[in-house]
């Protein structure tokens, strides 16, 4: 029936694993607008504040109660059982898709479990929170690692690969995303323009859901297993 599937996920797919979404607390963290904290300017202005923001979320990921839910596992099953081309693009920076078994995965907004050398761009797996002694090993003198996160105003990762996949796909599924942040919010229009069937899975009907051919309303962990089977 379908030959090429692209899936886009957002914070909603990790909500049932206990990770906060961005806009359920009207986008606030410690009374800061996330758009102020997750920016290069915010980091330049107050690196310790931004490091605290990411360290808090990095520690959350170490919590044994935070684990993949049935939605993550259903997507991994779809990837394994589907014989055509498959790409899972996530806006999420957590590692729940990997831990749920996904492999054909692209983190377009970066990864919480990694740091990046501000000078060379080299990426390092984090074994401790961000701070003074968490430095690169590629430069002399060693540089303080920054979060390997795509901030507002920075170019998302893998855009060429994502565009190619969207232009070729015949099924596009968006799960647990508010469609607030670009360029991810525009992916459905690219897929529709190239003739794909577009499907949205979300808790509530979003103002943009009219862009999708099909809309499933409810929790991703309850809808996806049935959808995949
Ligand atoms: C770029 C890392 C240029 C940080 C993130 C004006 C108009 C249009 C665009 C712009 C504009 N002004 C500025 C821009 C550009 C800007 C942007 O879009 N701003 C927004 C605020 C308007 N975008 C950028 O700057 C991007 N870069 O444009 O560069 C460029 C682009 C391409 C090519 C060349 C140049 C960079 C954006 C990346 C920012 N970084 N993340 C971090 O994580 O700390 S974005 C951040 O928001 C997260 O990644 C998050 O995933 C993402 C989107 O949010 P959602 O995932 O959708 O989460 P949200 O809470 O909003 O919604 C959750 C949804 O789940 C809800 O709908 C809810 O109903 C649903 N849900 C909840 N529970 C469940 C559920 N659904 C199902 N089941 C459940 N159980």
Q: Which residue has the tokens 């232009």?
A: 167
pLDDT digits (tens, 9 = 90+) for 59-88: 989 899 999 999 999 999 999 999 999 999
Query: Residue 32: what pLDDT?
Result: 76
In Å, how far are 9, 77, 119, 188 from 154, measured between CA atoms? 19, 32, 16, 21
The whole-chain average pLDDT of the chain stands at: 92
179 Cα to the center of ligand 1, angstroms:
7
**ipTM for the whole complex:** 0.94
Per-residue pLDDT averaged across 103-110, rounded? 98
The strand pairing partners of 7, in sequence order, are: 88, 173
For residue 28, the model assigns a pLDDT of 61
Q: What is the pTM of this model?
A: 0.95
Name the residue with the closest Cα to ligand 1, atom 22.
181
Strand positions, DSSP E, the chain: 4-9, 28-29, 32-33, 85-90, 105-107, 110-116, 123-125, 146-149, 171-175, 197-202, 214-217
For ligand 1, the distance from its centroid to the CA atom of residue 141, given in whole angstroms, is 35
Atom index in ligand 1 nearest the CA of residue 57 equals 44
Q: What pLDDT does residue 26 have? A: 60
Predicted confidence band at 24 (pLDDT cuts at 50, 70, 90)? Answer: low
pLDDT for the residue numbered 29: 67
Please give the number of the atom of ligand 1 that sits closest to the Cα of 220: 78
Does the pLDDT at position 89 exceed 90?
A: yes
Please report the pLDDT score of residue 99 as a whole number: 97
Mean pLDDT of all residues in 18-45: 78
pLDDT digits (tens, 9 = 90+) for 180-227: 899 999 999 999 999 999 999 999 876 667 899 999 999 999 999 999
- Residue 149 pairs in a beta bridge with 110
Ligand 1 binding pocket (C-beta < 6 A) is 10-12, 15-16, 21-24, 35, 38, 91-93, 109, 149-156, 159, 176-178, 180-183, 201-204, 206, 219-220
- Phi/psi at 110 (5° precision): 90, -170
Rounded distance from Cα 178 to ligand 1 centre (Å): 8
Binding residues for substrate: 54, 57
Catalytic residues: 109
Give the number of the atom of ligand 1 that is nearest the alpha carbon of residue 149: 2
């Amino acid at each position: 029936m379908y030959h090429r599937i692209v899936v886009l996920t957002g914070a909603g797919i990790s909500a049932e694993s206990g990770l906060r979404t961005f806009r359920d607390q009207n986008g606030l963290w410690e009374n800061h607008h996330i758009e102020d904290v997750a920016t290069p300017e915010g980091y330049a202005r107050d690196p310790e504040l931004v490091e605290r923001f990411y360290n808090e979320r990095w520690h959350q990921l170490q919590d044994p109660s935070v684990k993949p839910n049935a939605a993550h596992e259903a997507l991994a099953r779809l990837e394994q059982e589907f014989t055509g081309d498959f790409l899972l693009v996530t806006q999420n920076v957590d590692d729940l898709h990997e831990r749920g078994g996904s492999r054909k995965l692209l983190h377009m907004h970066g990864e919480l479990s990694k740091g990046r050398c501000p000078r060379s761009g080299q990426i390092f797996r984090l074994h401790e929170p961000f701070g003074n002694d968490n430095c690169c090993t590629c430069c002399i003198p060693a540089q303080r690692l920054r979060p390997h996160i795509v901030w507002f105003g920075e170019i998302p990762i893998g855009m060429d690969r994502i565009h190619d996949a969207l232009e070729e796909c015949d099924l596009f599924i968006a799960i647990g995303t508010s469609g607030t942040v670009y360029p991810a919010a525009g992916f459905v229009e690219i897929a529709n323009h190239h003739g794909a069937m577009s499907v949205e899975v979300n808790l509530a009907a979003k103002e943009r859901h009219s862009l999708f051919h099909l809309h499933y309303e409810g929790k991703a962990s309850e809808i996806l297993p049935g959808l995949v089977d």
